[in-house]
Amino acid sequence: MRDNSSILPLLSTIGPFNEVPDEYNAEDSLNALKTSKVLVIGAGGLGCEILKNLALTGFKNIDIIDMDTIDLSNLNRQFLFRREDIGKSKAEVATQFILNRIEDPDLKINPYFGKIQDKSIEYYQQFQVIISGLDSIEARRWINATLIGLVDNDVLIPLVDGGTEGFRGQSRVIIPTITSCFECSLDLLSAKVTYPVCTIANTPRLPEHCIEWASQLEWVKTFPGKKFDADDMVQVEWMYQTALSRAKEFNIDGVTKALTLGVVKNIIPAIASTNAIIAASCCNEAFKLVTNSNPILNNYMMYTGDDSIHTYTYEHSKKSNCAVCGNLAKNVTAQNWWTLSQFIDEISSKQEVQMLKPSLTTSQRYLYLTNPPELEKVTKENLSKKLSTLISPGEEIVVTDPSLPISLRLIVSFEGGETDPEFA
């Protein structure tokens, strides 16, 4: 059975940098540690480490959410899983493993197998701290916006966000409406590698070009209307063989099944040691937030382990034009010759926007709506029209996406000629 004897010295002696030493009470801190409810989002490489750390640190009330099942490729770094667990819920297996190993009757872990978007707002209001160990940008944006929205209901829940990529990682503390939020830092994230369609279709030079050709062009042509399932090994084998055939045609080496899977699933490399470091940082911040024993991170920690070992912290500033926590609109420039469709493509690809199915409106009209189908049909004709004929210079456009609980405000100005330079 696990006791808290190793944690007590951290609480009985006030931290040397505590900013309110006269208000600190060790008994209150220990009680807060035992009674506070913590939510862990994600039970993958980071989530396994975070769940283990929280349980061993003395937290007694933990919820964990994950929508994925265990895959063979997870076992090299997600240490709570075994081969016989393949196909089972990550959240449920991780929970049972921790409960069985620690054998603490006071420890309660509630797993949920599903999406974070499935839970109600009331569900999130019960937690004192939420720790995100997600690899999905969309999900991280969703929980960030949701917690900031709760401030309007006088509910302030800190979000500790962690992320890793190979030998690099970061952790951060987000205090809704007070510090910079996740949306403020979208431009810091690594951009997804994309390849020009013309190169993929006509002049492939890299093995990735051949895989993208098989994924973007041949799959749609061979299986119209069928979505590719990267977890289906039969479909992955088809994708691999198709890409390999394309590579042989152009004398390109390097197409392997592992690379094929990495490209089609957009797999981010993960290393167990990096996960452990970032998870430890996240749990340290959760511990400090709950116990008030030491000051919390303000507000961003970066770790680099690929070229020696380097770590530093800094205060990431809020952005006044942030779509979630800001109060100003973003200024964007559009070419006079752009159609609404070209404008949507341009803003959707921006690192600080990243929307998949944006709908655009002004105070005067609907420009384009992706839902409901009736309005999509009515506004679809605007896509081929020049944006400059649909709005006035300086007019504000509101951009929304069905997958994100945010509204992005844009002030558009125009420049350039009326004709596409390529066809002038």
- Catalytic sites, residue numbers: 198
CB-count burial class (<10 Å; 0-12, 13-18, 19+) for 400: buried
Helix (H, G, I), strand (E, B) or coil at 403: coil
Peptide bond into 275 cis (omega under 30): no
Long-range contacts at 15-22 (CB < 8 A, ≥ 24 apart): 15/293, 15/294, 15/295, 17/294, 17/295, 18/292, 18/293, 18/294, 18/295, 19/295, 20/292
Q: Give dist(CA 210, CA 216) in Å, integer.
A: 10
Strands 168-174 and 300-304: antiparallel
Token pair 């509630």 is at which residue?
Answer: 110
Q: In what order do the strands lie in the sheet with 108-113?
A: 108-113, 61-66, 37-41, 129-132, 159-165, 168-174, 300-304, 310-314
Q: Token pair of 135, please? A: 């690899």
Q: Give dist(CA 424, CA 415) in Å, integer.
A: 16
Q: Token pair of 355, please? A: 């929307």
**Residue 401 to residues 130, 142, 227, 344, 383: CA-CA distances in angstroms?**
24, 11, 21, 12, 17
50 contacts: CB under 8 Å, gap ≥ 6: 40, 42, 131, 133, 162, 279, 282, 283
